[in-house]
Amino acid sequence: MTESAHTSDRPVAAAQPLPGRRSRRARVWRVLRKAPPTAWFGLIVIGLYLFVAVGAPWLAPYPESELVGGAFEPWGGQFLLGTDQLGRDMLSRLIYGARNTVGIAFLTTMLSFLLGGGLGLMAAISGGWLDQVLGRAVDVLMSIPQLIFALVLLSILGSSIVNLIVVIAVLDSTRVFRLSRSVAQGVVVMDYVEAARLRGEKLPWIMRREILPNIMPPLVAEFGLRFCFVFLTISALSFLGLGIKPPTADWGSMVRDNAALITYGDVTPLLPAGAIALLTVAVNFVVDWFLHKTSGLRE
């Protein structure tokens, strides 16, 4: 409807200012300016986390796992948020926890997207037996309880950080596979994909150049959600004793180590849990807004 100004396709003599590459930043800014407060809140929180994660060694007042005081020192004074059960500075561990937990969750999610997304695209484009085989394999993986299977696999492989990332990424990639396959199927039928095929383009080009850019919005949104789920899975594993090993600060085991305090109304264990919740809330806010922007759901 708003296209009326372009109805005529007669060549326009004087080109209008081009929305070229230079103005992309301006466009992003324009979109951001119109973002709702929740999205802003989410973006700021995510930015803050990234800043803290990157700058942990400079920001933290004390080293990650050094004992710097007595156990359970109160808040304020030398230790802003007190100390934990061993006398490590809570604030420093929270800061390093951002780096470890967020970093690991991020790597895991990336890996699961590379794996699930790549296979999903291949299944959608190729169809046929490849699609069938991958689809069935994913069915099988999804019908095994994820957390318990992760526990078993980690027992077999040993719970190193690399194994943790790989195991969770593989198990989680099933969901990514399903999503990317279904959204890619919507794009595969498009004429421009057919045009690329008719041109004689090979699978990687079609995947990367024709399909991927068009399924990015739902994938990015899913990335945010999966990131949260991976985050929660890792903290659940830590809770069950198979997560990130000490003395690395990670929020899941920090909650678990101090959980007993909750029953006495002490908020210390709430801090790492709150940090988890805050980040996932922030990511979800941004994802929500992003989905809203890209799905064209108006009104």
Binding positions for other proteins, 207-226, rule CB under 8 A: 209-210, 213-214
96: its two tokens: 């390093």
Residues 82, 273, 289, 290: which binds other proteins (CB under 8 A)? 273
Amino acid at 165: I
Residues 6+ positions from 279 with CB-CB distance below 8 Å? 45, 46, 49, 102, 228, 231
Indicate the residue among 21 and 25 with the shorter CB distance to other proteins: 21
Q: Name the amino acid, one letter, at 125.
A: I
Nearer of residues 55 and 236 to other proteins, judged by Cβ? 236
Say whether residue 155 binds other proteins (CB under 8 A): yes
Q: Confirm or reject binding of residue 11 to other proteins (CB under 8 A).
A: yes
Measured CA distances, 95 to 49, 52, 189 (Å): 9, 6, 47
Using CB under 8 A as the binding rule, whether residue 266 contacts other proteins is answered as yes
Query: Mapping DSSP to helix (H, G, I), strand (E, B) and coil, where does residue 223 land?
Result: helix
Does the CA dihedral 194-200-203-207 come out positive or negative?
negative
40 binds other proteins (CB under 8 A): no
Residue 173 or 258: the one with the smaller Cβ distance to other proteins is: 258
In angstroms, what is the minimal distance from the CB of 118 to other proteins? 18
Residue 261 interacting with other proteins (CB under 8 A):
yes
Q: Does 262 bind other proteins (CB under 8 A)?
A: yes
Binding to other proteins, residues 95-154 (CB under 8 A): 136, 139-140, 142-149, 151-153
Tokens for 102? 């967020």
Token pair for residue 39? 């999205």
Q: Is residue 15 within the footprint of other proteins (CB under 8 A)?
A: yes
